[in-house]
Structure 1
């Protein structure tokens, strides 16, 4: 059974209840001072506490999807090696390989032309030399004859750190939300490329091109759009591409959009922060290069980099988020021809529930900024 399986969760809860009931029922019989009675009491208490702990942990993980599988929980790399076929014109030669297919959760139809499709892919960066798995959501229109010759806008969607890409499908429900927004007439059909910013696990590279290390910014800004545009019917111009994410993914999205307006016309940061973290999870990102450190500070970049015709969306809440003041500073520093929009909740913490409240409007906003061809 999988880590996020509802059956496994139900079994864990049933065991916790059973051990609790057994403790209450058997405790009078184990009240004696014999060694066997003492060991019996200790065993029941440990079993009850362990099963309760496991049940609470599973409920929390199923709600927030910290870990998507047993392999992810125990730090085991899941992807098998991918054979790359270098024959001209193949998808593999274009540095993206499809390794699985599934339908969006909550969409009843198994026909792609009615419910869309999610491809699990492996993207290999030509310049960055980074390889990362991702999920690509293709809307139903992608498979319909009326749209056979249409190129679709695409949005890169990033999780936080140390989240997994499955969070975007299950916990934050991006594909289902995108599907519903199109059905409601609020958004145009868009392709979503969903992955985590941790492309060199377990290191948090903060989407920086690390000297002598992972070239994460190059992967997201150059390799990924090129690979996806080669594989799918997506335009290759900046007006065809957006990037968004939450927390660390939000910082990365705003950073990539700010630094690469030639690649992404719009970027959205949900509960983002505005300068690269530097802690044990990141290691030494800048190796004493102050100019690189300054560039990773988005507020500094707004003051010092040339102004371009880009669109930014930032989100925060007046109560519950720690980024309210820095978000207001970001908004104040965006000057024409760039544009900035915001979602400011009265209250909302740094969690999935808050982001689920923001994602529908954020997708509508992104849709209004992107062009199909």
Structure 2
């Protein structure tokens, strides 16, 4: 299951739309990002010309959120092998890494970073918000705290943020420090606040600004919708 946000001008000009994939946290559902206020912010951004029109896909992870195997029944497997092809078939989507951005909150931030770092050929940008990163619990071939070192992230935009009192900040700090040591370009921001809805709601517009900034405002620059 998933929720999809479509821009008000969807299919008006025959050009494809970039797609933002957003994962919810461990106790939320596919409505989480909408409950934080996503639709109103994106509507306003498109209407005022701040954002280019784009699609947002918000999947429901359910029990898949506990599968880190990378196999067909993991979030990675379902996202890469089922969700992306489904979106390509059913939406006027820009089907290239440049046209895809991935983000997530808490456990969803872990999944976003894990999938993007393992598939840099599929995503041009990834953002982890208050990401649940723990080095000791997942095999290094899946864990973003390890895969950053072997993946080619030279063409990927990377964003990390967390609250200064976030109880999961140690893992986020570890990834930031590792990216710095490896010379991998990224943005990492520490803000006042903790690991909660108040923090994410306060920074939602900032998240969406960052994702949208990776795409051109000129609709003539986009490929045709296939």
Please classify the TM superposition score into its range, dividing by the shorter chain length.
0.7 to 0.9
Aligned residue in 2 for 1:252? 111
Within 2, Cα distance between the matches of 1:307 and 1:193?
A: 23
Which of 24, 27, 39 aligns to 1:162? It is 27
Which consecutive residues of structure 2, in runs of 5 or more, have no partner in the other structure?
217-221
Q: RMSD of the alignment, in Å?
A: 2.4
Q: Which has the higher contact order (CA 8 A, sep 6+)?
A: 2
What CA distance in whole angstroms lies between the structure 1 residues aligned with 2:119 and 2:42? 25
Kindly state the Cα deviation for residue 156 of structure 1 after the two structures are TM-superposed: 0.7
1:351 Cα deviation from its structure 2 partner:
1.1
Greater radius of gyration (CA): 1
1:102-251 to structure 2, matched below 5 A, reads 133-143=1-11, 145=12, 147=13, 149-170=14-35, 172-198=36-62, 201=63, 204-210=65-71, 214-251=73-110
Query: Can you give the 5+ residue segments of structure 1 that lack an aligned partner in the other structure?
Result: 1-132, 279-291
Distance in 2 between residues matched to 1:276 and 1:329, nearest whole Å: 9
Conserved 8 A contact 2:163-2:195: no
* Number of residues of Structure 1 aligned to a counterpart in Structure 2: 217
User: In the alignment, is the contact (CA less than 8 A) between 1:242 and 1:370 conserved in 2?
Assistant: no
Distance in 1 of aligned mates of 2:93 and 2:169: 35
1:243, 1:268 within 8 Å by CA — same for their partners in 2?
yes
Deviating beyond 4 angstroms after TM superposition, the runs of 4 or more aligned structure 1 residues are 335-338
With over 3 angstroms needed to count, the CA separation of the structure-2 counterparts of 1:312 and 1:181, relative to structure 1, is same
SS at match of 1:261: coil
Distance in 2 (alpha carbons) for counterparts of 1:323 and 1:184: 36
